[in-house]
Amino acid sequence: MRLAFVTEYDGTNFSGFQKQKNAISVQESIEDALKEVTKKNISINYAGRTDAGVHALSQVFDFETQIERDHKNWVDGINSNLPDSILVKAVTNVADDFHSRFSALDRSYTYVIYNSKTKPLFFDKMVHWDDNLIEFDVIKKQADMFIGSHDFTSFRSSRCSSRNPVKEIKSIEVLKKNNFIFITIKANAFLHNMVRIMTGTLVDIAKGEIKSSIKDILLKMDRASAGKTASAKGLFFLGPNYQSQFNIQSPTLNIMDKFKS
């Protein structure tokens, strides 16, 4: 049988989700916990490869097993062997051909900005702080230019290995609550650092540091024309979206409720 799990984590002290040789990753922590529970070496599939310092509210991972345990025992057993910065929230049985990454229809991220002259003491590891005036209306207007299918060469890192820079932005929502600005992006897939470069460019335009529009930057297909890469700590992976029959509870959460100022 195949099981799929939904997990959240604080990515501050991890090198990213994917296992690495000389650094601590979320994947390694989960697989170590699974070994304690099952006494077997288990390799998991996962929905999104978040980078170092990036957080997740609904990351999905799956694996095949013949071990019979009820769902609560799976969740409790894994959590009892995980660090406090990772929490498994739910588990469900899925079809044998389910794959956390390849079965996903799309994925969503939210980037959180704190725009204030004073530092966000209690949220410093979870937001990108900018003490310069950010024109919120400018961000909203420019963000709409991302919607649709585009070549995102201008918004990929030099280390991006994807063969196809064309991605479809299905929706983008920009909201403000007190000093927090939330940019939520849903796409079929993302390039390396794509959301962080998109956000950094929107902020640079909204502060008047870049005079070009998002539309013009997309057409240039040149990373040098875009803005700075926003810091990793403000980025949250909200999770993937699957067909309903998979019964994976990984919705786009209202992340605004998690932040108060």
Residue 62's CATH number: 3.30.70.580
Q: Is the pLDDT of residue 41 over 70?
A: yes
Our count of domains for the chain comes to 2
Considering the domain architecture, whether residues 60 and 77 belong to the same structural domain is answered as yes
Considering the domain architecture, whether residues 74 and 154 belong to the same structural domain is answered as no
Considering the domain architecture, whether residues 17 and 96 belong to the same structural domain is answered as yes
Global pTM value: 0.93
Q: For residue 247, what pLDDT is reported?
A: 54
Considering the domain architecture, whether residues 35 and 98 belong to the same structural domain is answered as yes
HSE-CB for 52 with a 13 A CA cutoff: 5
Tens digit of each residue's pLDDT (9 = 90 or more) over 141-152: 999 999 999 999
Helix extents (H) in the chain: 26-38, 71-79, 136-143, 194-206, 214-220
Place of tokens 């040789």: 21
With CA atoms as reference, report the closest residue to 172 among 156, 204, 150.
Answer: 150
Considering the domain architecture, whether residues 115 and 215 belong to the same structural domain is answered as yes
| Residue 51: active-site member | yes
φ and ψ at residue 45, rounded to 5 degrees? -90, 155
**Cα 259–chain centre separation:** 17
Considering the domain architecture, whether residues 192 and 96 belong to the same structural domain is answered as no
**Residue type, position 129, single letter:** W
Considering the domain architecture, whether residues 42 and 145 belong to the same structural domain is answered as no
Considering the domain architecture, whether residues 222 and 193 belong to the same structural domain is answered as yes
φ and ψ at residue 62, rounded to 5 degrees? -145, 160
Tens digit of each residue's pLDDT (9 = 90 or more) over 42-88: 999 999 989 999 999 999 999 999 999 999 999 999 999 999 999 99
**Cα 65–chain centre separation:** 27
Domain coverage including residue 52: 2-103
Considering the domain architecture, whether residues 73 and 118 belong to the same structural domain is answered as no
Considering the domain architecture, whether residues 112 and 98 belong to the same structural domain is answered as no
Domain assignment of residue 194, yes or no: yes
Considering the domain architecture, whether residues 121 and 233 belong to the same structural domain is answered as yes
Q: For residue 29, what pLDDT is reported?
A: 97
Q: Average pLDDT of the chain?
A: 92
Mean pLDDT to the nearest integer, 87-95 = 93
Tokens representing 9? Answer: 């984590």
Share of the chain above pLDDT 70, in %: 94
Query: What radius of gyration, in Å, describes the C-alpha atoms of the chain?
Result: 19
Active-site option among 10, 32, 51, 62: 51
Considering the domain architecture, whether residues 47 and 125 belong to the same structural domain is answered as no
Domain assignment of residue 82, yes or no: yes
Distance CA 160, CA 233 (A): 20
Q: For residue 251, what pLDDT is reported?
A: 47
Domain assignment of residue 248, yes or no: no
